Amino acid sequence: MAVDVHQHLWTPAFTDALRRRTAAPRLDGWTLHLDGEPPYEVNPADHDPAARLAADPGLDLALVSLSSPLGVESLPPGDAWPIIDAYHEDALALPAPFGAWAATCLSDIDPGALAGALDRGLAGLQLPATAVGCAAGLARVAPLLDVLAERDLPLFVHPGPAAPAAPGAGPGAPAGIATGAEAPARPAAGSGVPAVPGWWPAVVPYVQQMHAAWFAFAAFGRPRHPGLRVCFALLAGLAPLHSERLARRGGGGRGEVDRDVFLETSSYGPRAIDAIVRELGIDVVVNGSDRPYAEAPDPALGDAARHAVTVVNPNRLLNRKEPGR
C-alpha cells in the first residue's frame, strides 16, 4: 500500500483560526488574504477529507502538513501558536489513512512544545526551507532537530513564504499556494514593469529556497545532526543535479549519497525523477503529491521502482514497517 508524504488539508479548526485574524495571513470566508498578494479564492471541496480519500483510495498513509508558504510559523508567538495548535488538534483527529507532520513557531523556539506534539503521534516536523537555508538558520533550529533525533523521527523541508512579487503579479494562486494550472499574468497599471506570471513563486523562489536548504543541510546540518533523516520537498528543486559544479568548487564529488536524506517527487515528472535517480539512486526518492495542488507523479521507471518510491522508501524515511511485514 502506497504512502504519500506531502499533502495539505485545511481543517475546520485551522480555517477558523485564520478567519479570526484581522491581518494576513487570514481568511474571509474562503478568500485568502496574504501580504503583497491579490485575494485568492480557496475551493473548500479541495479540503474535504472524504473527497480526498475517494480520489486516491489506494493509499495506506497520507501525511498532511501546514501550508508553510503562508508564513504562519514566522508570526509572533501570540499569533502563531493558536493557528499551529488548531492545525495539530484537527490533524491528529483525521481518520485513517491520514497522518500529519508537526509544525512549530519559529519566533519562539520551544523544544518542549515540539516534543509534546510529536509524542501525541505526529510523524515528524515540517520546517520551511527559509528557516534552514543557512548556517545561522540551522543553528537556531538545532534544538528542534535534537528533539527529532531523540525520537528517531524525520524532518520534512517544505518551501516557505516567497517574497512578494514585483508590481503586476498575476491574479492566480498567491505565493503561499502553488497550483497545478498556469495562472494568467496581470499587467501592472502604469508601472511600466512587465507582469509576473502566476507560476513565478513556485518555479523561482521555491526552487531557490530548496537549493539553499539542500546545500546548507549538507554543509552545516549533517555534521551537527549525524543520524537525522531529512526529506526535501519537490526533489529539493533538483539541487542534487548540481553535483558536478559543486565538485569543481571543492564541495565534494559525485557518488557521495547520504542515505538518510530523501527527496519527494511533487510537481515533477518522469524526466526529473529519472535524473535524480541517476544521480542519487532510487533508494532516497519518496512519493509526494502536494494535493490538492498537484497529483502524485508516476516515476515511469517500472514496477520495482514504483514500489520503492511509494512503499519501501517512505516507510524507511518514517521508520515505519511496511504493511504485511
Top mean pLDDT of 34-48, 188-202, 252-266, 305-319 is at 305-319
Please give the Cα distance from 230 to 260 (Å, whole number): 6
Please give the Cα distance from 56 to 95 (Å, whole number): 14
pLDDT of residue 253: 61
Please give the Cα distance from 191 to 3 (Å, whole number): 47
Please give the Cα distance from 15 to 66 (Å, whole number): 11
Please give the Cα distance from 225 to 8 (Å, whole number): 28
Phi first, then psi, for residue 256 (nearest 5°) are -90, 100
**Stretch 287-306: mean pLDDT, rounded?**
93
pLDDT of residue 8: 98
Q: Give the mean pLDDT of the chain.
A: 90
Please give the Cα distance from 273 to 44 (Å, whole number): 31
Q: What is the pLDDT of residues 121-161, one digit of tens each?
A: 999 999 999 999 999 999 999 999 999 999 999 999 999 99
**Model confidence band, residue 1 (pLDDT cutoffs 50, 70, 90):** confident
pLDDT of residue 106: 98
Q: Which residues contact residue 138 at a Cβ distance below 8 angstroms, ignoring those fewer than 6 apart?
A: 132, 145, 216, 217, 220, 221, 224
pTM of the model: 0.92
Higher pLDDT, 301 or 123: 123
Please give the Cα distance from 218 to 189 (Å, whole number): 44
Q: Which residues contact residue 25 at a Cβ distance below 8 angstroms, ignoring those fewer than 6 apart?
A: 18, 32, 33, 34, 70, 71, 72, 176
- Is the bond leading into 292 cis (omega within 30 degrees of zero)? yes
Higher pLDDT, 55 or 115: 115
Query: Does residue 67 surpass a pLDDT of 60?
Result: yes
Q: Percentage of residues in the chain with pLDDT exceeding 90?
A: 75
Please give the Cα distance from 130 to 27 (Å, whole number): 23
- Residue closest to 11 by CA, chosen among 109, 73, 88: 88
Query: Does residue 192 surpass a pLDDT of 90?
Result: no
Alpha-carbon 80 to chain mean position:
18
Q: What is the pLDDT of residues 111-128, one digit of tens each?
A: 999 999 999 999 999 999
The domain locations on the chain are 2-317
pLDDT of residue 264: 98
**Stretch 177-192: mean pLDDT, rounded?**
50
> How buried is residue 49: exposed, middle or buried, by Cβ count under 10 Å (0-12/13-18/19+)?
middle
**Model confidence band, residue 186 (pLDDT cutoffs 50, 70, 90):** very low
Class of domain 2-317: alpha beta
Sheet arrangement for strand 31-33: 26-28, 31-33, 40-41
